[in-house]
Structure 1
Amino acid sequence: MSASAVYILDMKGKVLICRNYRGDIDMSVIDKFMPMIMDMEDEGQLSPIVQHGDIAFIYIKYNNLYLVASSKKNANVALVFSFLHKCVQIFLEYFKELEEESIRDNFVLIYELLDEVMDFGFPQTTDSKILQEYITQEGHKMEIAPRPPMAVTNAVSWRSEGLKYRKNEVFLDVIESVNLLVSANGNVLRSEIVGAIKMRVYLSGMPELRLGLNDKVLFESTGKGGKSKSVDLEDTKFHQCVRLSRFENDRTISFVPPDGEFELMSYRLNTHVKPLIWVESVIERHAHSRVEYMIKAKSQFKRRSTANNVEIVIPVPPDADSPKFKTTVGSCKYAPEMNAVLWTIKSFPGGKEYLMRAHFGLPSVENEDQEGRPPISIKFEIPYFTVSGIQVRYLKIIEKSGYQALPWVRYITQNGDYQLRTS
């Protein structure tokens, strides 16, 4: 990667914190950064990398701060960006908010962290759980414990040695978000599933976990599955604990997990999704005086599943007043700050259809129908259900002491960016 130095600047380009890692550049070169950014802003040509002579500035903006890495070498830019974002994450875990004031309040701590996360321009330990074992809010613990935690010198840098639990448990959540955009005439314009496998691990020792999914590539390569449904995962991203070479060889997801909560993997499926909750709207305007909405919501998933906490957000004109509602189920309320009606249904079983009518007065001065009415958006959560059909076939827990551990698996489907346009 070879970053020569890392800086944190305020919005005017003033250096709040800087750390010189390689000593191969003049640190005052950062004075050139802000004028170059302002010139690019004036020309409307902002770029995340700025070049000054033989020095590249690679930067990200967060709140009212710039985090900038400078490099003289031919750096791996993707890794530099990843490192800067990781620094933001670490600072947030330490002092909850990252802004100019929190930088000034915690500058000693930040220098200690910058010394640990990078050495001679190369990233080192960036796992905040491990860092928190020996760099605390009160200051460095190194004087008391001269040896850093094993995880820092260990091949498994994301997990500490010697963890003990009375009850060994693993909780695994498969969470899928559905992104959907439907046109006014009912055509699906965009649909995709974005999934994540999140874990909470409370296991003693150094266990190895093996996770088996109904992965299409695995089924095809091994001839398994028969008539079992398999899923073709795209854009798979793994936590650093997963042995990638093992996955590439035989599609086994094998890993020594971090302690506590983490995201094991994420994936995407660019697939045609039948809208899980379908909403039709009929809007009648009566010349300058009132507007009526008839909304029909239909659940298009199997009867044995139920959507919880469904919220249908129906946009209304900004000058609407005197709301009246009538609904077969749930409750309605007018949210003037959103210019919308919120129809909330606590429990929406599959294969059901519900109706809602809303009536508003409109001041007579308002001009006729506005162009481009905002779409209806829907929020929901369906437990014990995945749209993709992904399944955890097994979760094996192997630990040398041979204890028995309980794995718990949950499936949840929820809305992502889920919108239906109205005519």
Structure 2
Amino acid sequence: MASVVSILSAEDLSPLISRTYTLDLIPLSELHFQFQQSYRHHEHTKTLTPLIHHNGVTYLYVRSGEVLILLICYGGSRINVVELFTFIYKLETIMKSYFQISNVASGLNRGYILDNFDLIYELFDEVMDFGVPQLTEVGILKDVIKLEVTRPEFAEDYTGDLLKEQVLNNEVNSSVLRGATNTISWRPRGIYYPKNEIFVDLVEYNTLVIDSDLNTIIRNEVKGEIKLRCYLSGMPVLRIQLSEDILKKINTESLKLGQFVDLIRFDHDSGIHFIPPDGDSTLLSYKVLNFNKKPLVQVISYSTDVLDHKNRLMLNTKLIIRLNVKIKSNFKNIQISLPKPQLPNNNNNIDNLSFDNNFNPRFKSKYGKVLYDFSTDRIIWSIESFKDNEINKIEEISMTSQFALYDSSDESAGKVDLGMNPPPKRDTPLFKQINSGIDKERKEDTTEPSSEFSKKEIRIKFDLQNETYTGLKIQYLKLEKEFRENKGDKWGVVPQDDPKANDKKEDEAQESGYKLEYTLFPWIRYMSCSDDEFVYRLK
């Protein structure tokens, strides 16, 4: 259990707002001072961790933008660290939802906390009681706490969701208060929509690393998730069925189900039964390691050659790629980044040849646009979409580039240097000292990827609509019945009498008095995307 929840400024660690839950504390200002001293000490010695023990007190903190969310606890052996860190992240998500911070990567702003201290205190009272986490469901809290949010002038523009909330009734639904302590705490009662729709997105992210020199796949991983956006009335129980043959390839240890999934029935039934939260949620996420299948975008060949064109030496490159899907027109936003070509080693005069900056490089491709980025020395081939269906009949597409060369032994040609003279070299002792320190920091920094690899990689980004890389499909999504606790319904209980009771759900609903009072309109969309790392390493 936690004794104190505090929000501190990340810049100087000064407390912005705090809430005390127990009476066994020394003065709170002393605890904050001890945390500041311990934090700065560990930061100076480069031993900083999210959990700090000092004088019998445990400090757990998470940084979010300009603030630190801090929990102060007594008794190190009795602390459930995983539970408390989960609570911190839940609290961060709740505040982001209230402040309408749509970007997940963005953190909390100091101005939000100072301008909404009354809202923060209300949240502190609801999410924790006597140091024990209580209610952390955003949907329930928004129906209980309806204080107006003060947004700083530099905050993001109002979104459609915020404008929708501003016109809602400010009265608290009494069923919400009952739902906070019921079995189904993530969905309040009394929800009504004139048209009952649910939007399902099955999205997969592909990570691929191929060594073109050895012609081997170093890494081929798939991360997938099923996202929901629910606009359904009442308390519906839904069942979704995924393709079982593909589901068997997914490691069950990497399968993460949402809180609202009936886990007991999932172990005894191939379908997934769940009561969806209102609005956005994630049904499940999964990961497939060492997936054995051809890449969606495959580099067939990449070649360079020096040719004599109109009495001038030119370096020609050709890239051929293959899209390994039947309907290639489903590809959108393809971007292929190539390094500046290197001179081939089989040329006899290779040591005397250099790129001629007087001539712009030339590019040719039937699809998309090709540009050269001088800041990174990379070729960018972008294909926004395929406008015709002829691409479905073509196996491979290609792009060629041409760079002018000159003999560097020729002094007159060697004087050209982008139209300006280079700045004079500094040779003062102070400059050498500063420059050596910068070089040392760059060598010690190992957070960035290897420059040798990044310079010799073909990086690919893409979006593939209406298909998944693993082939996972949603066979059906249906509404089974409405959950009614007052009629004896129990969540997470397996029927013992008939193992095939799920196939007779409609008859059971009629006999027990349940009635499917509306028609469900499901909208399902598939998408495969490249992850942060989808590269082909060159020789």
TM interval, shorter chain, is 0.7 to 0.9
**Map 1:297-336 → 2, pairs under 5 A:** 297-303=321-327, 306-316=330-340, 322-336=360-374
2:404 maps to 1:385: no
- In structure 2, do the counterparts of structure 1 residues 229 and 302 end up closer, same or farther at CA, with 3 Å as the change threshold? farther
**Map 1:95-106 → 2, pairs under 5 A:** 95=99, 96=101, 98-106=108-116
Q: Which amino acid aligns with 2:250?
A: D
Q: Which amino acid aligns with 1:277?
A: V
Q: 2:128 aligns with which of 118, 128, 153?
A: 118
2:3 maps to 1:4: yes
2:457 maps to 1:375: yes
1:107 — aligned with what? 117
2:265 maps to 1:243: no
2:437 — aligned with what? none
- In structure 2, do the counterparts of structure 1 residues 99 and 285 end up closer, same or farther at CA, with 3 Å as the change threshold? farther
Q: 2:227 aligns with which of 195, 198, 204?
A: 198
Q: Which stretch of the first structure deviates more once superposed, 125-134 or 135-144? A: 135-144
8 Å Cα contact 1:60-1:84 kept in structure 2: yes
- In structure 2, do the counterparts of structure 1 residues 374 and 35 end up closer, same or farther at CA, with 3 Å as the change threshold? farther
For residues 125 and 193 of structure 1, the distance between their equivalents in structure 2, rounded to whole angstroms, comes to 34
> 1:420 aligns to what SS in structure 2?
strand
For residues 411 and 143 of structure 1, the distance between their equivalents in structure 2, rounded to whole angstroms, comes to 38
2:140 — aligned with what? 130
> 1:130 aligns to what SS in structure 2?
helix
Q: Which amino acid aligns with 1:40?
A: H
2:39 — aligned with what? 37
**Map 1:219-234 → 2, pairs under 5 A:** 230-234=248-252
For residues 328 and 149 of structure 2, the distance between their equivalents in structure 1, rounded to whole angstroms, comes to 55
> 1:247 aligns to what SS in structure 2?
helix
2:93 — aligned with what? 89
2:432 — aligned with what? none
> 1:136 aligns to what SS in structure 2?
coil
Structure 1 residue 86 displacement after superposition: 1.6
- Any idea what the Cα deviations from partners look like across 1:296-318, whole Å, max 9, x if unmatched? 2211233577322211122349x
Q: Which amino acid aligns with 1:409?
A: I
Structure 1 vs Structure 2 CA RMSD: 3.1
Structure 1 residue 211 displacement after superposition: 1.6
2:49 — aligned with what? 47
- In structure 2, do the counterparts of structure 1 residues 134 and 422 end up closer, same or farther at CA, with 3 Å as the change threshold? same
2:296 maps to 1:276: yes
8 Å Cα contact 2:372-2:378 kept in structure 1: yes
Structure 1 residue 277 displacement after superposition: 0.5
> 2:255 aligns to what SS in structure 1?
strand
Residue-pair matches, total: 405
For residues 247 and 98 of structure 2, the distance between their equivalents in structure 1, rounded to whole angstroms, comes to 44
> 1:408 aligns to what SS in structure 2?
strand
Q: 1:404 aligns with which of 516, 519, 535?
A: 519
Identity fraction in percent: 32
Structure 1 residue 237 displacement after superposition: 1.1
> 1:343 aligns to what SS in structure 2?
strand
Structure 1 residue 43 displacement after superposition: 2.3
8 Å Cα contact 1:302-1:351 kept in structure 2: no
Q: Which amino acid aligns with 1:21?
A: Y
Structure 1 residue 350 displacement after superposition: 8.0
Structure 1 residue 374 displacement after superposition: 4.5
For residues 522 and 216 of structure 2, the distance between their equivalents in structure 1, rounded to whole angstroms, comes to 41
Calculate the TM-score normalised by the size of structure 2.
Answer: 0.68
- In structure 2, do the counterparts of structure 1 residues 312 and 90 end up closer, same or farther at CA, with 3 Å as the change threshold? same
- In structure 2, do the counterparts of structure 1 residues 229 and 199 end up closer, same or farther at CA, with 3 Å as the change threshold? closer
For residues 266 and 336 of structure 1, the distance between their equivalents in structure 2, rounded to whole angstroms, comes to 40
Structure 1 residue 351 displacement after superposition: 5.9
8 Å Cα contact 1:305-1:385 kept in structure 2: no
For residues 303 and 151 of structure 1, the distance between their equivalents in structure 2, rounded to whole angstroms, comes to 47
- Any idea what the Cα deviations from partners look like across 1:236-266, whole Å, max 9, x if unmatched? 1122111222223435421111112211110
Q: Which amino acid aligns with 2:338?
A: I
- Any idea what the Cα deviations from partners look like across 1:118-153, whole Å, max 9, x if unmatched? 112222222222222232342799996495544323
1:354 — aligned with what? 397
- In structure 2, do the counterparts of structure 1 residues 213 and 41 end up closer, same or farther at CA, with 3 Å as the change threshold? same
For residues 339 and 247 of structure 1, the distance between their equivalents in structure 2, rounded to whole angstroms, comes to 52
> 1:153 aligns to what SS in structure 2?
coil
For residues 91 and 336 of structure 1, the distance between their equivalents in structure 2, rounded to whole angstroms, comes to 42
2:536 — aligned with what? 420
Q: Which amino acid aligns with 2:526?
A: Y
Structure 1 residue 16 displacement after superposition: 1.0
Structure 1 residue 66 displacement after superposition: 1.6
- In structure 2, do the counterparts of structure 1 residues 145 and 201 end up closer, same or farther at CA, with 3 Å as the change threshold? closer
Structure 1 residue 203 displacement after superposition: 1.2
8 Å Cα contact 2:143-2:173 kept in structure 1: no
Q: Which amino acid aligns with 1:42?
A: H
For residues 202 and 335 of structure 2, the distance between their equivalents in structure 1, rounded to whole angstroms, comes to 22
- In structure 2, do the counterparts of structure 1 residues 14 and 302 end up closer, same or farther at CA, with 3 Å as the change threshold? same
2:327 maps to 1:211: no
Structure 1 residue ranges without an equivalent (≥5) = 217-227
8 Å Cα contact 2:19-2:124 kept in structure 1: yes
- In structure 2, do the counterparts of structure 1 residues 144 and 167 end up closer, same or farther at CA, with 3 Å as the change threshold? closer
1:221 — aligned with what? none
For residues 32 and 83 of structure 1, the distance between their equivalents in structure 2, rounded to whole angstroms, comes to 23
8 Å Cα contact 2:250-2:286 kept in structure 1: no
Structure 1 residue 327 displacement after superposition: 1.1
For residues 120 and 220 of structure 2, the distance between their equivalents in structure 1, rounded to whole angstroms, comes to 43
1:225 — aligned with what? none
Structure 1 residue 52 displacement after superposition: 0.9
- In structure 2, do the counterparts of structure 1 residues 21 and 292 end up closer, same or farther at CA, with 3 Å as the change threshold? farther
8 Å Cα contact 1:4-1:72 kept in structure 2: yes
Q: Which amino acid aligns with 2:2?
A: A
- Any idea what the Cα deviations from partners look like across 1:202-258, whole Å, max 9, x if unmatched? 211110011222335xxxxxxxxxxx9854344111221112222234354211111
8 Å Cα contact 1:307-1:350 kept in structure 2: no
1:395 — aligned with what? 477
> 2:239 aligns to what SS in structure 1?
strand
2:212 maps to 1:151: no
Select the structure of larger CA radius of gyration. Answer: 2
For residues 22 and 291 of structure 1, the distance between their equivalents in structure 2, rounded to whole angstroms, comes to 74
More helix by share: 2
Structure 1 residue 365 displacement after superposition: 6.8
Structure 1 residue 101 displacement after superposition: 2.0
Structure 1 residue 390 displacement after superposition: 1.6
